[in-house]
Structure 1
Amino acid sequence: MGDSTADLDRALRRAELMTIAPGTYITGEDWRELGPDRRYRLRVLAAVERVSSDPVVSHFSAASLWGMDVWGGWPTTVDVLAAPGRGRSSGSFRRHGTDAARHEVTRLGEILLTTPAQTVMDIATIVPFADAVVTADSALRARPDAGALVTREELQSAAERIEGTPGSRRAAAVAAFASSLAESPLESFSRVRMSEEGFPPPILQHPFVLQNGAVARVDFWWPDFGVIGEADGAGKYGDDSTARVAVLAEKRREDELRRTVDGFARWSHADALSRHRLVYILRNAGLVSGRRRAFP
């Protein structure tokens, strides 16, 4: 590829190389294979490596390093903590002024960053309630290769530590509402929308035994109404090579479940974003909504 400035510029124009941070590059092929979360994580790591100080990575950037979910996409800048009065953002960094006594900090390898519980609560102070629940649920959820990042008690302790600061009431409400049982961002977001629209709280991940003896766990179950709810998140059926088999298996599963209950609701990401559509889907399945709930 060559090593001159002209060669580098040519590779960047052709998308053979992609810029992660000034002076840090990745091949275009490798970049295109990465999802948005891994792309942002690389940007965070590259940006932190470039600074001579030891910044405390926080908010969305800490969430990416911990492997948490976010709703609405990743930012373009790297979040770091700054001493009070030194919270101005510049270049690749977004600086958050903070009282160090209110923040728990740890290390992940060589990187200094906020603890998982602190990270969730920091995000909860700056984003809408539903978005924050998505991140909180992901932190509480056990991962295939390890346990959960946080406990509810740790979230509540972190919420108490920032009490009285802007957004702290919302953070405390997130800590109380969060669940370890929501298995995807769409499930978490949907839980909030249901509660806001006055629908009764569902049982999460309830098991049903199918005729062949297999156990089918459903996203949402309302036993008083006999209604099952399923949220179809992106990528639920895998890649193209297995999608057809997975869709057919899911259809057979759904057909059998429908025969055992009174109502069945299924919705997509777009449905959850539209209050009217989600309400229609749930009511059409047989659910009844009551008094709406308002979150901070």
Structure 2
Amino acid sequence: MDLATSLRPCPVPLLIAHDADPTGRPRELPGQIRVRRGVYVPVAPWRALAPWDRYLTRVHAVAAVRPNSVFCLESAAALCGLPLFGEPRNIHVYDPVAARSTTFGDIAVHTSRTPRIVSRHGDNDVVGVADTVVDLARVLPPAFALATLDAAIGPGSAAHLTLDTIADRLACRADGSRGTRRARWAIDKAEGRAESVGESVSRAVIDWLGYPPPTLQRTFRFEGVEDRVDFFWEEYGVAGESDGYGKYSADAVASVIGEKRREDRLRRHLIGFARWDWTDAMRADPLDRSLAAAGLRPERARQHGMLATLRRNPRSL
């Protein structure tokens, strides 16, 4: 099946109201903030949302006032639980009969000569996950495109996609070659064992820094305890860990203590151990220093052009 079994609900309650009072002035609702004409959310929960959940709220607000919309690209990704990177600028809808793609306000309407597979969910349609990841792989910065594909085929995905299915959807595209090479790169690098966005982005950066490819999710048994690491370089005896968003549970103190004991145990038995976070990977040089300090050596020259794509995502605020 190529579609998510269910869509993500709105993170905060939506209040649908007439946008103006009888005088024609915008309505002010105490304790509420307007996210779209006629759609309000509570101020405090809104301000507490992560950027991607703010975007999901905006998508649901459009769905509330524009029934029968067909969401695509980042909007479909938000609803289907695929990763987002920051807060995307536009709400994306698909209109197969439109004469051309256009944008009004923050709504981007897309058309295509290649029909998309669409799933019906209540009053709104969503472009299928295979088409969505192909569409995103053609326009996102490459590391983010890779993370999107990894999420679609990974162990936590409800879409049950294969790389062959995604490659077939890319081959069906009749709307020019824009982004096709980028999408093929992401498909070639996608890995079903990847378990987080940070891990996927790190893998891309490691490749562009010239290091050899690691084995993912390697399990060790030391001192009677089973430990799994994100990355392992067998030839060097070096393990690597990518700390991303949500790395620790709500019981943060216990999690940090347990992680420190785990890391110490691995360091006692491996030649080298590297740890980095999302910012280190996105800046590239700190990740490079962590890998070099653990004993790894680049085998190829840096890909400066690919590393430059980490600097900004023009599709997000």
If the TM-score is normalised by the length of the shorter chain, which range does it land in?
0.7 to 0.9
Alpha-carbon shift at residue 84 of structure 1 (Å)? 6.0
What is the distance in 1 between the residues matched to 2:216 and 2:288?
19
SS in 1 for 2:104: coil
CA distance in 1, matches of 2:187, 2:267: 34
| Residues 52 and 84, structure 2, Cα contact 8 Å, conserved in 1 | no
| Residue in 1 that maps onto 2:172 | 161
* Structure 2 unaligned blocks of 5 or more: 1-17, 310-317
Give 3-state SS (helix, strand or coil) of 2:212's partner.
Answer: coil
Q: Distance in 2 between matches of 1:293 and 1:173?
A: 17
Structure 2 distance, partners of 1:147, 1:207, is 25
The answer to which of 219-228 and 173-182 deviates more is: 173-182
How far is 1:175 from its partner? 1.4
The verdict on how the C-alpha distance between 1:179 and 1:108 changes in structure 2, with shifts beyond 3 A counting, is farther
Give deviations 1:239-285, integer Å, cap 9, x for gaps: 3xx21111111110000000110000001112112222211211111
Q: In the aligned structure 2, how far is the partner of 1:113 from the partner of 1:38? A: 18
269-278 or 76-85, larger mean C-alpha shift = 76-85
Task: Report deviation, 1:20.
Answer: 2.6
Alignment of 1:84-163 (within 5 A): 85-101=99-115, 103-143=116-156, 147-162=158-173
Kindly provide the amino acid, as one letter, of the partner of residue 41 in structure 1: L
Corresponding residue pairs, total = 282
Alignment equivalent of 1:260, drawn from 263, 269, 277:
269
Contact 1:227 1:287 in 2 (8 A): yes
Most deviating of 171-180 and 217-226 = 171-180
Amino acid corresponding to residue 142 of structure 2 in structure 1: F
CA–CA distance in structure 2, aligned partners of residues 7 and 288 of structure 1 = 61
1:272–1:278 contact (8 Å) kept in structure 2: yes
- 2:54 matches 1:43: no
More displaced stretch, 151-160 vs 195-204: 151-160
TM-score by length of 1: 0.87
Work out whether residues 197 and 293 of structure 1, in 8 Å CA contact, stay in contact via their aligned partners in 2: yes
Structure 2 counterpart of 1:31: 46
The structure showing larger relative contact order (alpha-carbon pairs under 8 Å, at least 6 residues apart) is 2
TM-score (norm 2): 0.81
Instruction: Write out per-residue CA displacement over residues 167-195 of structure 1, whole angstroms, 9 at most, x where no aligned residue.
Output: 11111221121112222111110100111
Letter in 2 for 1:263: G
Q: Is the 8 A contact 1:156 1:175 kept in 2?
A: yes
For the residue of structure 1 that corresponds to 2:136, the secondary structure is: helix
Match of 1:177 in 2: 189
Partner of 1:291: 300
- What are the ranges of 5 or more consecutive residues in structure 1 without an aligned counterpart? none
Deviation of the 1:129 alpha carbon: 0.8
Residues 124-133 or 155-164, more deviating:
155-164
Select between 267-276 and 106-115 the one with higher mean Cα deviation. Answer: 106-115
* Secondary structure of the corresponding residue to residue 142 of structure 1: coil
Return the match for 1:222 from 222, 229, 233.
Answer: 233
Partners of 1:77 and 1:167 lie apart in 2 by: 19
How well do the aligned residues superpose, as a CA RMSD in angstroms?
Answer: 2.4
Question: Aligned with 2:227: secondary structure?
Answer: strand
Preserved CA contact (<8 Å) 1:160 1:172: no
